[in-house]
Amino acid sequence: MAAYTAKDVSELRQLTQAGMMDCKKALEETGGDMKQAVDWLRKKGISRGETRAGRAASEGKILAIISQDGTTGAIVELNSETDFVARNEAFGQTLAQIAGTLHGASHIDGITTSTEGSALVAEKHGDTDTIAEALKMMTGTIGENIVLRRYARFAGTGSVGSYVHHNGKVGTLVEVDGITGETGQTLARAIAEHITAGVPTVPVAVNRDEVPAALVERERRIFSEQAAASGKPDNIVQKMVEGRMDKFYKEVTVLDQPWVRDDSKSIRDLVKAAGSGVTVRRFARFQIGQE
């Protein structure tokens, strides 16, 4: 019996855009391990990697709130089972209330991607109910499972900005340091818009130092094996690997990415133009159905 299913093949095709037979071969060679199968395809030059993130079985909506002075901001993803419910007025009102509650919770700072043990679900919602109780009530009324999937609240000494796509399916919250007021909010919003667009790819970190070590190791290993297969001398192979790693960093770090509105400039250029000492502190990008 094969160590994979037709569903696994379909998921691998969605992740890598590789052909069906190539996906089957990759799963066969890796014993059905999805992550190893992605790497196997990349090493063979069949796929450049996960072009689309794994889809979760969910619909929903994303909403962001920024304070008038731009010093604090919050972003929330609320999930439903169908898009029909996500477009329901009651769903939108509940999402707005939750975002407002989160924005006002001064003890919450950072990103939470699981509601398990979450401080937010215990927050007061209205006069008596907690958010968790309100969601249970809404689930019972609508007949669909309503889940507070993830949220973020940023507050610091700089500026916070956000951008949510008009369909409410993807949005980003950004905090910048070293700049305040309207200028700071405009910069943070411009960067949030860029990150939301996900061009050339969805960034994983603000700068190179923050890229997860495991991801860097994985990419370097794949690039090394690809370069070694070329049969070129070791010194040339090393240069090939470093060149590909440099390109990788430029694709996955916010500061190194070309600005979506003017690709002759990088986000680093945009930040530098805002003034000395201005930095991007952090960001949270949520997309419905994305892990």
Give tens-digit pLDDT for 241-265.
Answer: 889 999 999 999 999 999 999 999 9
In angstroms, how far apart are the furthest CA atoms of the chain?
72
Tokens of 262: 């003017």
Considering the chain, what is the average pLDDT of its residues? 86
Indicate where the chain has its CATH 1.10.8.10 domain(s).
Answer: 1-47
Q: How confident is the model at residue 57 (pLDDT cuts 50, 70, 90)?
A: very low
Structure-model confidence comparison of residues 109 and 142, the more confident one: 109
pLDDT > 50? residue 53: no
Whether 161 and 66 have beta carbons less than 8 Å apart is answered as: yes
What is the predicted pLDDT for the residue at 114? 56
Q: How many helices and strands in the chain, by DSSP H and E? A: 10, 11
**Is residue 51 scored above 50 in pLDDT?**
no
* Low-confidence winner among 2-11, 29-38, 64-73, 131-140 (lowest mean pLDDT): 131-140
Q: How far is CA 123 from the centre of its chain?
A: 25
| pLDDT at residue 216, rounded to an integer | 92
The number of beta carbons lying within 10 Å of the beta carbon of residue 171 is 25
Whole-angstrom Cα distance, residue 236 to residue 259? Answer: 32
CA dist 211 and 31 (Å) reads: 29
Residues of each domain in the chain carrying CATH 3.30.479.20: 59-205+265-287
Q: How many CB atoms are located within 10 Å of the residue 10 CB?
A: 12
Fold of the domain built from segment(s) 59-205+265-287: Tetrahydropterin Synthase; Chain A (3.30.479)
Which CATH architecture describes the domain 1-47?
A: Orthogonal Bundle (1.10)
Q: How confident is the model at residue 179 (pLDDT cuts 50, 70, 90)?
A: very high
pLDDT for 274 equals 96
Q: Answer for the pair 254, 280: CB distance below 8 angstroms, yes or no.
A: yes
Is the per-residue pLDDT at 38 higher than 90?
Answer: no
Q: What is the pLDDT, as a whole number, of residue 189? A: 98
Region of poorest pLDDT, from 58-67, 84-93, 152-161, 249-258: 84-93
Q: Is the pLDDT of residue 55 over 50?
A: no
Q: When comparing pLDDT for 213 and 123, which is higher?
A: 213
Say which residues have a Cβ less than 8 Å from residue 153's Cβ, sequence separation at least 6: 72, 73, 74, 102, 103, 105, 108, 109, 110
Cβ burial 63-82 (10 Å sphere, 16+ → b, else e): bbbbeeebbbbbbbbbbbbe
